Amino acid sequence: MASVITGLGSGVDLQAIVTQLMNAERAPEAKMNSLRLAALATQSAWSGLSGQMTALKAAAAALTATGGVNAAAATSSDASTITTTAGTGAGLGSVAVTVQHLATAQQSVSGPVLPSMLVGAGQAVVSAGLTPVGASRFSADPTATAGTHVLRVTTASAAATVTGTTVPPLSFSPGSDDLTVSLSDGSTKTVTLGSYASAADLVSGLGTALAGSATVSLVGGHLQVSSRDQGSGATLALSGGAAVALGLLGDPVTGRDAVLSLDGGPDQTVTHLDGSTDVDLGGGLSLAADGHLSTGTITSVVVRTSDTSTLADLTGALAVSGGPSTASVFDTGDGSAVSSRFVLGAAQTGSAGALTIEATGIDVLGARQLTTVVAASDARLLVAGNVVTRSSNTVSDLLPGVTLGLVKETPAGGAPTTVGVTRDTDALSTKLKALVDAINTLVGGVKTQTAYNAATKASGPLSGDGSARSVPTSLLEIVGATTGSGPTKLLSQLGVQTTRDGTLTFDSTALATQLRNDPDGVSSLVSTLATSPKDYATSTLDTQGIVRTASASAGAEIKRRQEQIDAFETRMVTLQTSYSAKFAALDAMLGKLRTQQSRLASQISGLPAG
């Protein structure tokens, strides 16, 4: 900060002189600040246009995205029976559905209990999803961690299979046309074939003869022989004259391994399934498979109780979040001394949620203590004469892209519910209007930023900017050049028209009419209309695009102007310091001269007169 010059030595207000000199030196500063503010206004204007261009791109992308132009709406003739929700990939069409049975969740109830009663020391494993996966039991030894466990089978197992000729022969010569089956355990079985009336008879006869060693089936006219066991540990080789005749002769083949994961851990490969040996899952857990594992999920909860555990404790452990079961104790209110009941239910409906209970030492979970009041059952639908079953009342894999919510069963003799997908005219209209609005907003924004107000003689920050003025011109030219083929050629048929001031208007009624007359043509033209503005917006927002480069240029100009102002301010501080020092020195010198003058005057006045 410059020092204050008192002016006491000279008797002159030297500080005022310095201030006046600095005011004169700072005259260019106002112009510099004005140029900086103009650059800021330019950058702000381009930033606003960038936002409007981004909104235009998003509106256009909503129409070009999957399902954008062909937006679909799911319908139901009776939403009180079946609700519908359309998603991605929903195809147009409809189908009649009869709800014969809703999926139900298993529920079992105990006899009279007290919430505070002791349940005894023991362990229980409650599991769901065993049957669909192909398992019969999920077990835990004392070292297993209590709580919820989730087992996912991601790859199903398969038997070793040999496929023969399309049309198998039906007559064989005993002795020379025998069939020998060799399995992975080293066992072999030789079958003597005779004559058969049909391929089905051949399959039946051969299957009976190979019972316990292999299975036989006819798939697509091809004879197939499969090992009893599954996984890569199961091998199968067929030899003999009949193997040659049936096209079954060849090198030994192996089955496919099952792949599973426990509690989100690493994949485990099961190489051999024979239906009698449990699969060791690690951590004290094991699975009893029925000789085959299908893809699916098993959810289990391991519960342990002590001598002091109450029914309330057990209920809380069984009702853990994410587990296979629900549990509660309710009061019947029947006025008896022991009016409460324990209820164990499945967390999911259908066969996939059916519970399997293994309990030792916990009496209330025993088979004799719990009575099933609601059995686990799948939803059963009649669709175009075909019976379809699902484990849940929410069905998302019946119609592509459509989720059905089963609410109630169709009354006996009642009409089926027609569910389907139609074009969502309202959704398309909303998206097309959003595109028109986005174009108008951008065009209007550019006009505002480039306008000159004759009354106020004020110009917009982008006035005279050719790049800015080119934006609405280019955009409207692109839109105006959009045409279609077939019956729907013009934008006016979509309800889109250009006014004299360069803005667009949209008539949803015209769009709805044309959609009824030419839905495919409308979809094609709307897609074309949306694609061109989207591509244009993308190009302007690109690194080398108009919007990005102009905004970057304005930013560079702001930086340059600020650097000029900072450098100018540094010079002014230095100059003011210099002025202040010089005038301070002058003031001091004049002060000394005045002191000397006063002393001389005093001396002169003291001299004798004459």
pLDDT at 548: 83
* pLDDT class of 42 with cuts at 50, 70, 90: confident
Higher pLDDT among residues 323 and 19, named by residue: 323
What are phi and psi for residue 189, nearest 5 degrees?
A: -145, 130
Beta strands in 487-556 (DSSP E): 496-498, 504-506
* pLDDT class of 8 with cuts at 50, 70, 90: very low
Q: Is residue 414 over pLDDT 60? A: yes
With beta carbons less than 8 A apart as the criterion, state whether 342 and 335 touch: no
Q: Is residue 602 over pLDDT 90? A: no
Q: What is the mean pLDDT of the chain?
A: 88
| Integer Cα distance of 263 and 255 in angstroms | 26
User: Mean pLDDT, to the nearest integer, of 365-375?
Assistant: 91
Higher pLDDT among residues 286 and 194, named by residue: 286
Following DSSP, what letter does each residue of 118-131 receive, concatenated?
A: B--SEEEEEEESHH
| Integer Cα distance of 105 and 374 in angstroms | 7
Q: Is residue 5 over pLDDT 60? A: no
Structure tokens given for 555: 């930013």
User: Mean pLDDT, to the nearest integer, of 343-359?
Assistant: 96
Strand order from edge to edge, sheet including 417-423: 72-76, 417-423, 93-101, 379-383, 386-390
Q: Is residue 95 over pLDDT 60? A: yes
Q: Is residue 227 over pLDDT 60? A: yes
Q: Is residue 10 over pLDDT 70? A: no
* pLDDT class of 335 with cuts at 50, 70, 90: confident
pLDDT tens figures, 386-405: 999 999 999 999 988 899 99
* pLDDT class of 507 with cuts at 50, 70, 90: very high
* pLDDT class of 339 with cuts at 50, 70, 90: very high
pLDDT tens figures, 101-159: 999 999 999 999 999 999 999 999 999 999 999 999 999 999 999 999 999 999 999 99
Q: Is residue 4 over pLDDT 80? A: no
* pLDDT class of 1 with cuts at 50, 70, 90: very low
| Integer Cα distance of 251 and 233 in angstroms | 15
User: CA torsion angle for 520, 526, 527, 533 (degrees, to 10)?
Assistant: 170
Show the domains of the chain with their CATH numbers.
Answer: 1-71+424-599 (1.20.1330), 74-102+386-422 (no CATH), 107-149+294-374 (no CATH), 159-256 (2.60.40)
* pLDDT class of 237 with cuts at 50, 70, 90: very high
Range with the lowest mean pLDDT among 148-157, 319-328, 360-369?
A: 360-369
Q: Is residue 166 over pLDDT 70? A: no
Q: Is residue 591 over pLDDT 80? A: no
> What are the residues whose beta carbons fall under 8 Å from the beta carbon of 334, sequence distance 6 or more?
none
User: Mean pLDDT, to the nearest integer, of 549-572?
Assistant: 85
pLDDT at 599: 81
pLDDT tens figures, 445-478: 888 888 888 787 788 888 878 888 888 888 888 8
Decide: pTM greater than 0.75: no
